[in-house]
Structure 1
């Protein structure tokens, strides 16, 4: 095996020796160092590998194919022999394959299906700095396998821009760094003109680069849509093929993850005719993929990254500003073969985030929650743990979908959902189809939901989009449809049919409710019923309200399921929906239709009302007065009322409010006390623990008196701890005059003691609380109660400020003592005796 020269080569002996001695490694190497393609090959013959496979997680499909192809080429083999890849809907792996490059959730599936990882000796996480959710989960699972089952498993985290020291501490692993192969890059900001679209600014930058600099030009754009617009700006006539020679010498080529494999391969090779190239790329070209001949980088500073979209219930790709680390990495692409130039299309004054935020913190977590349930443990070690609120919401959704039971354990349906490798909402829908034709229809729906809207005219009817797809298949797509968009949706639907192993074809026409009857399995929380008093308003199964567009195509339907909502201050706006057949709803979700007595809070009456209700989930279908309020149900209803109205609905006494401020302050000042979190958010989140029992037997909010509320709030603290709070953060303090004066507390601020100046004569230093850790802020008052000075330095006040105060106050308050020496004077809260 002959390896080309890469900077990483000098580090390969250290990598091999490190992994021979230690099962984990953090490897930092800039783009172009060769880590992606040289490290796996260098480890193939290691004794600890013992002929087993190396699995490398690569975040992007383009990079996965390219890396596998490059390594296979170095071995003079075809992809699928020693080196292969597995990506969504594509697999080039054989029994002979020893290096597998995998993407997305494929590594997770491998570990879930075989926790012993039989036949796998090492897992490499390439470009870990991109912090994809699949990489974070894969690393957490691999660490669990390594600690519990496979001490011999090697784990390597590789990255170009990474806080390697932090990750090495987390992994308890050695850290190695490689030099890159780069030349100086001159960076400049290329300003936009007033109201100039991105594609025109980009065209000007490309023209400037081609005129001023040699070599190929790499342009970073956020997505396919922007690539198409820049292509159109560069090439007004439609190009006869993928790349068109521009002005006779320049070839313009796109590069993104949806390109066919052969087109990707064309971009990754030099032009066969020696033409200069302009490559319009998404961030697939940011790392792992090497483009020959690039001397100039033009960077829009944007990327499409997943963000949770509450409108759709999914994580969607949104255009966001890149991080500073990504900007530096992109610019470095211009210096791989010689000195280069980088033009940034954002103002120099714009500040970028230092590093990319983990997907874990900003996406919807239903898939993660299902994976954790399948693994059977939440005790995984994540570099950044999943946010508790998002994880709880994900589990609630999974219970509605049938993927989790009430105990939180995964169900048989949940296991089948997981095996499909898509969002649990879509998986639940795909698995709900009772026959071949319905399964084919569900595949159409999954493809439609995952894709961009193929209709230019908009509208809220999902049926119109499916009918446009059906018309496209028959060769008569409607005029307002995007034909390329429909073609992509048709391809995705075929791929889903292959995944489900169904030979059935979708119907040529359908009744509108057939889509809704399938879709309700993906969005059980968004099944909606028409409001009896307002036909444009709908109540959702999750209890919220939504409304239709004025020109809605589904107006008048008694039941709907909404696949997309726009959340607004009052009612959500239904942006995409399909009608639902009530008979099908009762067949599929019969257990959610219930009739029972309910007690609810009536905000208008500010009282509880008892009603006999017929409901579907949280949708009230019929309601009648039920007479007397049941006390057992009343406590729950009153607690829910406080949840809705806020804690201000309760009767908080001033002493109880001060007690809370004292506890919150002490929790910050003395963490070793391990005081509970009694912030407003925490109290609201735990109402069922402390407030619900206090409402027992009560049917009105104002029936909860101050003493009962105080006892309820303090119930989580043992008596000894409450006494300790009184000692460390007292409500009053005795001052030298012999009087007790009150201390005022406010969390986040120093406690305040307001006291007349004469009462502190003879006191040298500022009083302190919390075992002497916290000085009081003294509000020194005149005999008339007006503030003279605010200080935490009483000694300094006596030394520097008191003489001036005495001079001013002596004439205004002659009946009160103003001694020359406050250190030895008698403290008093009274005026001077008569005759003195």
Structure 2
């Protein structure tokens, strides 16, 4: 009996009485196999759709469930993944993956005929799963109150998820045997890969059964497979299998299948085997503790694949593979102390990915992502970058409105970049013969990830004459989508830069010094072998440290793109003050993204508005310290900020960033007559700042936070304000005799620290409690000061004495 069976009745009851249910069940409980099959058999649901985040898991689960019914895939159990759809009118349980469910909801927001949505392995938090769940929750709330949603996972942040979904939580025990944990400390973390093979040898020697080795990616899998060959020569009954997402199906099935009797296998895998897969015969896990994570670089617009440490939750998932059939062992690379310092959960994709696809989906859905029910909300920087990319791809306009091309791109069901490239290539086919097929070649190269020359024209030409099967499969798929033949005598490589620009307009690069600057403003390094004399590159792939290494590109000339893709270019009249030449540059410029393609003296006159904008640009770059009077107005700025802090309903915020953002309002009128840099530096900054406050507010500021305070002697003493802590009043001690309390400002919200000075203006005492000082340590000060300054008044009772700013002889 599977553990999930024990909670099945409870789960069904909750689904009957609640719209959404949360299920936590560890590996081996039967949540991905037994549960959906028996929910289908229960007869309560006309059609069930289950989302699996990984294609390999989706295909294997679907095939297994179909076999349990003695049926072929596509009958009662269906599968819908990219390039593989097996469903029919008989299908009642459909396994889908990646963005398939999102497309289904977009095409039919009511999800006609579907009664139950299941989100399996939700803890993986793929961007596609987060998007689909958000749309499903909106469908449920607005259109289908009878739609049931079941969210389930092996390792959930249960309390947080339950709060977000506002639903009951059901927990199922797993069917896992005890797992012994062995920690293998690493002396040099940078050499971790070299220490994996000795650990595998140790496991082979100490334990029986087959071994599952978790590695970050294919590169590490190849290294370990080669390093193990010598070991296997002496172990004829041990063989190696590899398992990763890009493999063909036969190799994947071979890795999953049980070994022949009396033989053992070592399966080298990525994190595709963490969940929803059962690999026969495994009772030992060797965990490198590493995974390949896609980290989006906002500066370059590049998704970098980095090798990072896994979370504790992922480590538990991996270890669970060893206890599925009998007691097992996990060998963890690294000390136990290092393991316990890992993050509890992996960072969700939505916080570390390019979210242009999510924004496009939300635009088509008819909402902003800020209004979607998302467990985590992307950052403002992510949203800004993604929206700019969608503008460059003609999916939305500068106001954020969805364009017709954007709707068609979303319907393509691929990344916005590639959808734009293929649709625009088709539109340009009549003008540029062969560009659609060239775009399909480029798509196939991106999807198949075959290793080729960095120069794209060489790479595609090689693939045209001698293509591996993985590339040909992708090429046929995209040619079918474009409704063209994949066969041709010659590729139209003269259009290659246009194809790249259609997908990567932000990666059009212009030489700058020893490197290049991208259209998005980021700098990248020059290639060590290719494009040494090129001035312009259309870059397809970037990576390496900080995403600044060019992996593949092709040379182009801007005139070619300007003639075919004019929307990429923007003409601006710009006025800038060149500080080196001490003169204005007033130019008509053509921009490609953020870099200047060409510039010439402007034909329009240099007017006051253009000159003012030039000064504003300099101030934004340098800050308010560009003004000579900045030091003189620092106290005014602090007073204005304190006023806004303590009286926000009366005074505007006045931080430097606020002032810089609002320059065109308060400072621009003072810049109209400024024609030289020296004039700018000498500008009356205090008067300009005060214009942010009307006359009444200026009077209130002087009342609440005065520049000077009158003390008992009659003197007006300057107050020194600070943003944190009390204001400071430095005053001669004789001038505050008879004063028992330190003053407070801003209606008691700002206290004052008294700095009592000697006749020579040297500090004697810091206090905020004058009464206590007069009664205590004043006696010691009096004794010392009488001898040093005998001409000055040092009374025995300063609390009642008359304050003075004169010597005794003149009192």
State the match for 1:142 in structure 2: 136
Change (3 A) 1:497 1:820: farther
State the match for 1:563 in structure 2: 540
State the match for 1:80 in structure 2: 74
State the match for 1:623 in structure 2: 600
Q: Deviations over 1:434-456 (max 9, x none)?
A: 3483222112222334565724x
Change (3 A) 1:342 1:625: same
State the match for 2:364 in structure 1: 374
Q: How does 1:32-47 map to 2 (within 5 A)?
A: 32-44=28-40
State the match for 2:333 in structure 1: 345
For residues 601 and 314 of structure 2, the distance between their equivalents in structure 1, rounded to whole angstroms, comes to: 61
1:409 matches 2:386: no
Question: Unaligned regions of 5+ residues in structure 1, if any?
Answer: 238-243, 474-485
Residue 166 of structure 1, CA deviation? 2.2
State the match for 2:420 in structure 1: 428
SS in 1 for 2:808: coil
Residue 326 of structure 1, CA deviation? 2.1
Q: Deviations over 1:8-56 (max 9, x none)?
A: 3333333222232221233333333333334434544778xx6343222
Deviates more, 1:487-496 or 1:735-744: 735-744
State the match for 2:485 in structure 1: 503
Q: Deviations over 1:323-366 (max 9, x none)?
A: 23322333344344444433222344543223222222222222
State the match for 1:448 in structure 2: 445
Among 7, 15, 18, the alignment partner of 2:11 is 15
SS in 2 for 1:271: coil
Change (3 A) 1:35 1:583: same
- Count of residue correspondences: 800
1:638 matches 2:622: no
1:233 matches 2:227: yes
Q: Is residue 540–residue 619 contact of structure 1 (8 Å, CA) maintained in 2?
A: no
For residues 7 and 421 of structure 1, the distance between their equivalents in structure 2, rounded to whole angstroms, comes to: 38
Q: Is residue 420–residue 503 contact of structure 2 (8 Å, CA) maintained in 1?
A: yes
Among 103, 116, 128, the alignment partner of 1:109 is 103
Among 303, 307, 310, the alignment partner of 2:295 is 307
Q: Deviations over 1:226-270 (max 9, x none)?
A: 111111111259xxxxxx897133332222212233433343343
SS in 2 for 1:62: helix
Change (3 A) 1:229 1:757: farther
Q: Is residue 597–residue 626 contact of structure 1 (8 Å, CA) maintained in 2?
A: no
SS in 1 for 2:502: coil
Superposition TM-score, scaled by structure 1 size = 0.82
For residues 591 and 802 of structure 2, the distance between their equivalents in structure 1, rounded to whole angstroms, comes to: 72
For residues 126 and 746 of structure 2, the distance between their equivalents in structure 1, rounded to whole angstroms, comes to: 45
Q: Is residue 565–residue 576 contact of structure 1 (8 Å, CA) maintained in 2?
A: yes
For residues 740 and 327 of structure 2, the distance between their equivalents in structure 1, rounded to whole angstroms, comes to: 69
For residues 7 and 638 of structure 1, the distance between their equivalents in structure 2, rounded to whole angstroms, comes to: 72
For residues 146 and 10 of structure 2, the distance between their equivalents in structure 1, rounded to whole angstroms, comes to: 19
For residues 798 and 232 of structure 1, the distance between their equivalents in structure 2, rounded to whole angstroms, comes to: 85
State the match for 2:495 in structure 1: 514
Change (3 A) 1:172 1:208: same
For residues 265 and 543 of structure 1, the distance between their equivalents in structure 2, rounded to whole angstroms, comes to: 46
Q: Is residue 435–residue 492 contact of structure 2 (8 Å, CA) maintained in 1?
A: no
Q: Deviations over 1:543-580 (max 9, x none)?
A: 67777446534625x654233467999x9776543233
SS in 2 for 1:120: coil
For residues 658 and 639 of structure 1, the distance between their equivalents in structure 2, rounded to whole angstroms, comes to: 23
State the match for 2:199 in structure 1: 205
Q: How does 1:390-789 map to 2 (within 5 A)?
A: 390-433=382-425, 434-435=428-429, 437-449=434-446, 454-455=451-452, 461-473=455-467, 487-505=469-487, 507-508=489-490, 510-511=492-493, 513-528=494-509, 541-542=519-520, 548-549=526-527, 551-553=529-531, 555-556=533-534, 559-564=536-541, 576-580=552-556, 584-590=560-566, 597-613=573-589, 618-624=595-601, 629-650=606-627, 653-654=630-631, 656-658=633-635, 660-661=637-638, 679-680=655-656, 695=671, 744-747=720-723, 749-756=724-731, 758=733, 784-787=760-763
SS in 1 for 2:613: helix
For residues 659 and 231 of structure 1, the distance between their equivalents in structure 2, rounded to whole angstroms, comes to: 70
Among 276, 290, 293, the alignment partner of 2:278 is 290
Q: Is residue 434–residue 492 contact of structure 2 (8 Å, CA) maintained in 1?
A: no
SS in 2 for 1:140: helix
Residue 516 of structure 1, CA deviation? 0.9
Change (3 A) 1:55 1:802: farther
Q: Is residue 189–residue 344 contact of structure 1 (8 Å, CA) maintained in 2?
A: yes
Q: Is residue 819–residue 825 contact of structure 1 (8 Å, CA) maintained in 2?
A: no
Deviates more, 1:809-818 or 1:172-181: 809-818
